[in-house]
């Protein structure tokens, strides 16, 4: 029997890692292997996944290249061959792509002769940051912070380009970060996604980035004989979930129980590798860099500094581990544009120095370091 593979994609800061951490904790008895691909010098997401999975024996494999779709042969396939060699010890594989990666090359690689006999794509999950979506930050032509400066390249609509192709290849779209949104906001988000990718099969809601395993794993959406229950040629939108179906091992005919669940016909994904190659071949502007300091940090001041960075520089994502005086655990910092969140990781001891990875479109490292120094009063390099 082939090992099912779930690909989790979504733009920078959409909440992929948090969602997967929740899945790991909910499946302590399932032998999971997670491949995590990050854009940055330090594996922040990999550390978080290891923390979530260490109690249930989940194995984590880091794919350090910033774009898995550009390094399928060098990074992805060798790890899959390792798993293939002991396939009887793995129940399911989850692949978290970086926020800048496209899923299609990874999907295609699962059909390569070297590995296709032992792996079967289960579903492609795309996680969407709904507040960013309805705020218009992911619109076509929407300039990223700092994108209007004279030094910025003219083609700065790559945010929408990446998200669109992630949605076009999605079987399931997860509407994330919706905890404080109204029903009207959710309907606007669904309409926006349908306008971009009308063939998406399912939409699910994730409160606090939590999702029932049965809604995203074990779906069998790419088996050789696709279940007929998922081949409707029209779309449905259903009301609140009153109770969870007792058995989701097989697709059910009556899907009116699912909150925010919608589906439509989807024959196949038509996005080709040539589009991916054209995009990455002509858009080398995405960059990441690491800034560190050995000096003590005040968490609130650092949050303000990172937020200010996004207002002055074209930085879309920041993440890192920070040492706070008097605290024995690392402060995890996660930022999407100017929205910064922090929390203490009970499984991660305070690091010797604080390190933050910044990801953006032609950001200037020296100016980011200067902003951090200006606000925190400490030296970053």
Question: What pLDDT is stored for residue 47 in this prediction?
Answer: 62
- C-alpha pair distances (Å), 318 with each of 57, 193, 290, 298, 356: 29, 25, 10, 17, 7
- Asked if residue 237 is part of any domain, the answer here is yes
What pLDDT is attached to residue 124?
95
CB half-sphere exposure, 125, CA atoms < 13 A: 32
Say yes or no to pLDDT of 147 above 70: no
- % of the chain beyond a pLDDT of 70: 70
Given pLDDT bands bounded at 50, 70 and 90, which one contains residue 259?
very low
Does 233 share its domain with 319? no
On whether the CB atoms of residues 97 and 37 are closer than 8 A, the answer is: yes
Are residues 125 and 242 both part of a single domain? yes
Tell which of 222, 256, 276 closes a domain: 276
Instruction: Please give the Cα distance from 224 to 196 (Å, whole number).
Output: 27
pTM of the predicted structure, to 2 decimals: 0.65
**Are residues 53 and 74 located together in one domain of the fold?**
yes
| CATH number of the domain encompassing residue 121 | 3.40.50.300
- 125 and 16, same structural domain? yes
In this prediction, residue 25 carries a pLDDT of: 80
pLDDT (0 to 100) of residue 19? 87
Query: Cα(82)–Cα(86) distance, rounded to whole angstroms?
Result: 7
Specify the higher pLDDT residue, 130 or 208: 130
32-79: pLDDT as tens digits: 888 887 644 444 454 655 555 455 566 788 776 555 555 566 678 888
Task: Give yes or no for a contact between 200 and 173, defined as CB atoms under 8 angstroms apart.
Answer: yes
- Residue 363 covered by a domain: yes
Query: Is 73 found in the same domain as 128?
Result: yes
Whether the CA torsion 248, 251, 256, 260 is positive or negative: it is positive
- Using the predicted structure, report yes or no on whether residue 222 has a pLDDT greater than 60: yes
Among 77-86, 106-115, 126-135, 222-231, the range scoring the smallest mean pLDDT is 222-231
Is 61 a member of any domain? Answer: yes
Q: Which of 276, 307, 328 is the last residue of a domain?
A: 276
Confidence of residue 128 (pLDDT cuts 50, 70, 90): very high
pLDDT in tens, 281-308: 334 466 788 999 999 899 999 999 999 9
Task: Tell me the range of 107-121, 150-164, 234-248 where mean pLDDT is highest.
Answer: 107-121
Q: Are residues 227 and 326 in the same domain?
A: no
Q: What integer pLDDT is reported at residue 37 of this predicted model?
A: 79
Whether residue 225 is found in the same domain as residue 337: no
Q: What is the pLDDT of residue 271?
A: 39
Examine the domain organization and report whether 269 and 304 are in the same domain: no
Token pair of 100 as six digits = 């800048």
What length does the chain have?
381
User: What angle, rounded to 10 degrees, do the helices at 183-196 and 158-168 form?
Assistant: 90
- With residue 105 as reference, give the H or E element that holds it: helix 104-109
Range of the domain at 84: 3-276
Q: Flag whether 197 is in a domain.
A: yes
112 in a structural domain: yes
Highest mean pLDDT among 14-23, 50-59, 243-252: 14-23
Evaluate whether residue 381 is within a structural domain. no
Q: Pick 137 or 10 by higher pLDDT.
A: 10
Examine the domain organization and report whether 161 and 242 are in the same domain.
yes
User: Is residue 315 classed exposed, middle or buried when 0-12, 13-18 and 19+ CB atoms within 10 A define those classes?
Assistant: buried
Give the integer Cα–Cα distance in Å for 316 and 357.
11
> Residue 326 maps to which CATH number?
3.30.1220.10
Is 291 in the same domain as 332?
yes
What pLDDT is recorded for position 339? Answer: 85
Let me know whether 272 and 317 are in one domain: no
Q: Are residues 266 and 222 in the same domain?
A: yes
Task: State both tokens at 34.
Answer: 């997670």
Q: Where does a domain end: 247, 276, 305?
A: 276
Average pLDDT for the chain: 75
- Say what the pLDDT of residue 71 is: 58
Computed on alpha carbons and rounded to an integer, the radius of gyration of the chain in Å comes to: 20
| 184 Cβ neighbours under 8 A, 6+ residues apart | none
pLDDT of residue 305: 95
């Amino acid at each position: 029997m082939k090992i099912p593979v779930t690909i989790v994609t979504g733009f920078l800061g959409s909440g992929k890692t948090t969602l997967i951490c929740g899945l790991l904790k909910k499946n302590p008895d399932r032998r999971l292997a997670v491949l995590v691909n990050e854009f940055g010098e330090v594996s922040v997401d990999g550390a978080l996944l290891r923390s979530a999975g260490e109690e249930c024996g989940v194995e984590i494999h880091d794919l350090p290249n910033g774009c898995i779709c550009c390094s399928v042969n060098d990074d992805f396939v060798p790890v899959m061959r390792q798993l293939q060699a002991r396939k009887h010890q793995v129940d399911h594989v989850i692949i978290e792509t970086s926020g800048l990666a496209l899923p299609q090359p990874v999907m295609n690689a699962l059909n390569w002769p070297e590995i296709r006999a032992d792996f079967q794509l289960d579903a492609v999950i795309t996680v969407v940051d709904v507040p960013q979506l309805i705020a218009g930050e992911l619109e076509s032509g929407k300039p990223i912070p700092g994108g209007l400066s004279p030094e910025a390249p003219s083609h700065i609509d790559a945010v929408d380009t990446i998200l669109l192709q992630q949605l076009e290849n999605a079987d399931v779209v997860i509407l994330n970060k919706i905890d404080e949104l109204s029903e009207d906001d959710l309907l606007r988000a669904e309409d926006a996604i349908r306008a971009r990718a009308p063939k998406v099969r399912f939409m699910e809601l994730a409160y606090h980035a939590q999702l029932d395993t049965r809604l995203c794993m074990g779906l069998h959406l790419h088996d050789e004989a696709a279940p007929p229950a998922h081949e409707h040629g029209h779309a449905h939108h259903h009301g609140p979930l009153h109770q969870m179906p007792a058995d989701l091992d097989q697709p059910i005919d009556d899907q009116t129980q699912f909150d925010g669940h919608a589906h439509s016909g989807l024959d196949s994904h038509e996005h080709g590798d040539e589009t991916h190659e054209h995009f990455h071949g002509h858009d080398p502007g995405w960059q990441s860099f690491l800034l560190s300091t050995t000096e003590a940090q005040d968490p609130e001041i650092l949050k303000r500094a990172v937020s200010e960075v996004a207002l002055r520089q074209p930085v879309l994502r920041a993440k890192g581990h920070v040492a706070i005086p008097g605290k024995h655990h690392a402060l995890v910092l996660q930022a999407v544009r100017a929205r910064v969140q922090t929390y203490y990781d009970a499984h991660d001891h305070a690091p010797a120095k604080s390190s933050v990875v910044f990801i953006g479109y032609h950001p200037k490292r020296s100016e980011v370091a200067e902003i951090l120094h200006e606000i925190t009063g400490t030296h970053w390099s």
